[in-house]
Amino acid sequence: MRRCLLFCLLLFASTNRAVSAAEPAASAAGVFRVKIETSAGAFVIEAHRDWAPHGVERFHELVRAGYFDDSRFFRIVPGFIAQFGIAGDPKVATAWRNRTIPDDPVVQHNQRGYMSYAMTGPDTRSTQIYINLADNSRLDAQGFAPFAKVVEGMEVVDKLYSGYGENSGGGMRAGKQQKMFEEGNAWLDREFPRLDKLMRATMVKP
C-alpha cells in the first residue's frame, strides 16, 4: 500500500513538473517580461509578440534555454547601441549561430530603450540583440524590427562598459566575431577583461 501511494505521489509530482515547464511558453503569445542581471546591475525587458512574432518567439526560446547566461555585452557604442547575444560557451554559440529566423515587419521604431536583432541581410537574425542607447529610427528602413523595450533599469544599460567600442567583436558585418565562436568567454575575458557580464536572464512571473 505504501509503495503504491509513493508511486502515485511521484507520478503526480512528475506530471506537475511537466505542466510547469510548459506553462511559460503560453506567455510568449502576448506580453512578457525578462529580468537581466548584469555585473553593472539589473534591468527588465518587456517583449511584445504583436511587434515582432518571430523575434519574440526566438527570444523566449533563448531565455528558457539559458542561452544568455554567463555571456558578455561585447559591443557598446556610446550614443548608439549595446549589443549582446553570443553565448559564453563556444559550443553553444556555434550550435545556434545558423539557426536563423524569418524577418518580421517593422512596426515600432528603433528609439532609446527599444531592442532589435542584429543581422547581415534578409532572414539572417539568430541570437544577437542590441539595445538602442539613443533614437536610431534611421535603422527602421533597414529592416531592424524592435521586439521589446527596457521598462526598468535603463540607467544600468547606460553604465555598461564601452571602452572597447567596436574592437571586442563588433557587429555581425565587421568580421571580428569568429574568436567568440571559437573560444567564447575565455577569449573575451583574456583580451577584453572589463566587458560587463550578463549573468542571468530569467522570466518575470506575472
Does residue 25 sit within a domain? no
User: Does the pLDDT at position 25 exceed 60?
Assistant: no
Give residue 28's pLDDT: 59
User: Does the pLDDT at position 17 exceed 70?
Assistant: no
Residue 36, φ and ψ in degrees, nearest 5:
-110, 115
Does residue 155 sit within a domain? yes
Q: How many CA atoms lie within 13 A of 92 on its CB side?
A: 16
Domain count, the chain: 1
Structural domain including 78 reads: 30-204
Does residue 16 sit within a domain? no
Does residue 2 sit within a domain? no
Does residue 123 sit within a domain? yes
pLDDT digits (tens, 9 = 90+) for 44-96: 999 999 999 999 999 999 999 999 999 999 999 999 999 999 999 999 999 99
The CA-atom distances, in angstroms, between 199 and each of 37, 85, 134 are 6, 12, 24
pLDDT digits (tens, 9 = 90+) for 129-181: 999 999 999 999 999 999 999 999 999 999 999 999 999 988 777 778 999 99
pLDDT digits (tens, 9 = 90+) for 179-191: 999 999 999 999 9
Does residue 84 sit within a domain? yes
Does residue 14 sit within a domain? no
What average pLDDT does range 115-141 have in this prediction?
98
Give residue 22's pLDDT: 34
Q: Domain containing 110 — which CATH number? A: 2.40.100.10
Taking residue 203's Cβ as centre, other Cβ atoms within 10 Å add up to 15
Does residue 9 sit within a domain? no
